[in-house]
Amino acid sequence: MSVIGARPQFVKAAAVSRALSGRVDETVVHTGQHYDPELSAVFFEELALDEPDYHLDVGSDTHAAQTAAVMVEIERLVDAEEPDAVLVYGDTNSTLAGALAATKREPTLVHVEAGLRSGDRSMPEEVNRICTDHCADVHYAPSETAVETLEREGITDGVVRSGDVMYDTLLQVRDRLADDDVADALVPAGETASDGHHADRLVPGDDAFVLATVHRAANTDDPDRLESIVEGLSALSRPVVLPAHPRTVAALRREGLWERALDGIDLVEPVGYLDFLRLLVAADRVATDSGGVQKEAFYLDTPCVTLRETTEWVETVETGWNRLVGADADRIVEAVESAVRPARKPDLYGSGTAASRIATDVERRLG
């Protein structure tokens, strides 16, 4: 039984479920943690994922309420389906809920993307990672750093350095990234596609632009941090294209920053997986608070500036492909304006065979 519920998990599951096909019977549970069509359904379409066997429709809520709702349903499904293993991905509330429900039942608990740490326990994702790793029976770690982290925490049994399954998926779709003009898919935030108002001006030919994403609660729920990020992005010399997460739109409106953001940033509606990767390829550089985007930028050779003080993908910083600037407007401007592609890009997260390794190991463990 595989538990998914958010954008990065759909991307990871696209590789792992494909690799598991024909080896084991898989039941897929979509928790509904991400419920906006561009954050959920479009990923299933673009990545050719089968429809989930179960859709829990939990939607948005507090961390405790969302986690509890998923736990109750996963426990019920585990009892009904009696899976040999429950597989969870990454660090969301869906991850933790699936882990807690499974670890108190019979199935083997498998954690894909184990061993990541930012060192910042104020992040809900960090707590989710730690708890899931210490519940899990099998840990698929994307890097040697992740393996070493697990070892420091006393976790050595069932640890496999698999590589990063998100890289597998990206390689599978990379040839499709040149299929369409990405500008045709961009709709100004607040508009609808039916208006016929496409944002061609947002990606002006071959001109340089910055791609930005802001969605983490630490940035959207803190008025001072959010204002500083808006000021920093608005002050850049290049145009800034920002696909606006629903949480970000709500925060900008709530804090009275919506008009200020519109003045300096090209806010667009959320885009699907392929269109986002097309933007990332076309962008001169990216400013983000997303862990997944940090990796995707690395894979696609786009210099990254991270709007956080810490990252779980420490290797991208150590090799010069990523800079941490927090929410400081001046640091954002300096880092984005001075970002360059490093001369060297080491193999940090495997060669695109992580899902195959995971499927082979799962099959062996389950007999």
* 275 CA to centre of own chain: 15
Residue 215 is among the residues annotated as catalytic for this protein: yes
Q: Among 242, 172, 237, 232, which residue's Cα sits nearest to residue 12?
A: 172
Q: Among 289, 349, 347, which residue's Cα sits nearest to residue 167?
A: 349
Local structure of 284: helix, strand or coil = coil
Local structure of 304: helix, strand or coil = strand
Q: One of 34, 111, 139, 215 is an active-site residue; which one? A: 215
- Please give the C-alpha separations between residue 105 and each of 46, 86, 89, 118, 336, in angstroms, as whole numbers: 34, 10, 18, 30, 48
Alpha helix (H) residue ranges in the chain: 7-20, 41-46, 63-81, 93-103, 124-135, 144-152, 165-173, 217-220, 223-234, 246-254, 258-264, 273-282, 291-299, 314-318, 329-338, 354-366
- Please give the C-alpha separations between residue 350 and each of 117, 161, 167, 261, in angstroms, as whole numbers: 19, 9, 8, 38
Catalytically active residues are 215
